[in-house]
Amino acid sequence: MFTRPLASLCILLCAASLQAEPRLDILTLQHRSADELLPLLQPLLEADERIAADGQQLLLRAEPARLDELRSLLEQLDVAPRRLLISVDSRRQEQGEQRGYRLDAQAGRDPQAELRVQRFGTRDNAASLQQIQTLEGYPARILIGRSLPVERQARDAYGHPYRYTEQREQQQGFQAIASVRGERVSVRLYSLQDDLARGSDGSYTNRQSDTLLSGRLGEWIEVAGIRAASADPGAEVRSRRYDSAAEGLSLRLKIELLE
């Protein structure tokens, strides 16, 4: 006599199980590449959820309710790149060395993007501040100029030997790619040797980051322990670990939104 109620219960349980089963959804992006948004979504996934990137599409596997949540989040993230102002501040230098920064931006698909660099003098134990305009999601190239004292020996007009010191210029650096979410900003730092391949949509993909920083918009973010590569292809040392603290240099980044 319990056959029919038991059968009905089994049907209901099976139906509920089917409704809760994960399903695959393909979302086509309008403004951002899938590779750009993938790192932002991965930390938000649950253990049984999966995500993959394919050009301008994201492949999501999750329960229907979660798919709706992730789809809503993607609508907030998939917006046109915003114009950013990156400030680089350096302080406290090694005595006998002179340091400075030169910034360069690849503005990507926006031909209107202008490069503006402001430089405020650099000298021993002084501050250096530079600023650059770039687009969200596109690399800004930061070169760290360094002048090292090198002792030389020569002879004067009378043949007498003497020693003198000359400054030898070295340039190293990294690339910074910033993304904004609400009042928070994430900055990925890459060695100059990293291959920032440009996709058919104009965005940069296939990146392996050295350092990931995060903070609030308009606030300074301390930088330490990034990998800096020589900007000179003929240099003996092509790359090394750059630690701003070990180098006696305090390096900070600040990201601001431009109207």
- Provide the H-helix boundaries in 132-193: none
End-to-end CA distance of the chain: 73
Q: In the predicted model, is pLDDT for residue 132 greater than 90?
A: no
Cβ 39 vs Cβ 178: under 8 Å:
no
| DSSP summary character for residue 44 | G
- CATH 3.30.1370 correct for 20-77: yes
* Sequence-separated (6 or more) residues with CB below 8 Å from residue 22: 48, 49, 61, 62, 63
How far apart CA 237 and CA 45 sit, in angstroms, is 41
Q: Is residue 14 exposed (0-12), middle (13-18) or buried (19+ Cβ within 10 Å)?
A: exposed
* Sequence-separated (6 or more) residues with CB below 8 Å from residue 46: 62, 66
How far apart CA 131 and CA 53 sit, in angstroms, is 33
CA distances from 168 to 51, 96, 236 (A): 50, 12, 14
Cβ 187 vs Cβ 213: under 8 Å:
yes
* Identity of the highest mean pLDDT range in 23-37, 157-171, 191-205, 231-245: 23-37
Q: What is the pLDDT of residue 20?
A: 62
Q: What is the pLDDT of residue 146?
A: 59
Residue-wise pLDDT for 155-181, tens only, equals 878 888 888 787 766 666 678 888 888
Give the residue extent of every domain in the chain: 20-77, 83-97+123-228+245-257
Sign of the torsion formed by the C-alpha atoms of 199, 31, 108 and 227: negative
How far apart CA 165 and CA 116 sit, in angstroms, is 35
Q: What is the pLDDT of residue 218?
A: 93
Cβ 47 vs Cβ 22: under 8 Å:
no
pTM above 0.85, yes or no: no
Amino acid identity of residue 139, one-letter, is: P
* Identity of the highest mean pLDDT range in 25-39, 103-117, 187-201, 241-255: 25-39
More confident residue, 128 or 40: 40
Cβ 176 vs Cβ 187: under 8 Å:
yes
Q: Is 201 helix (H, G, I), strand (E, B) or coil?
A: coil
* Sequence-separated (6 or more) residues with CB below 8 Å from residue 113: 83, 105, 107, 133, 134, 135
Band of pLDDT at residue 206, cut at 50, 70 and 90: very low
Band of pLDDT at residue 123, cut at 50, 70 and 90: very low
Sign of the torsion formed by the C-alpha atoms of 21, 25, 31 and 36: positive
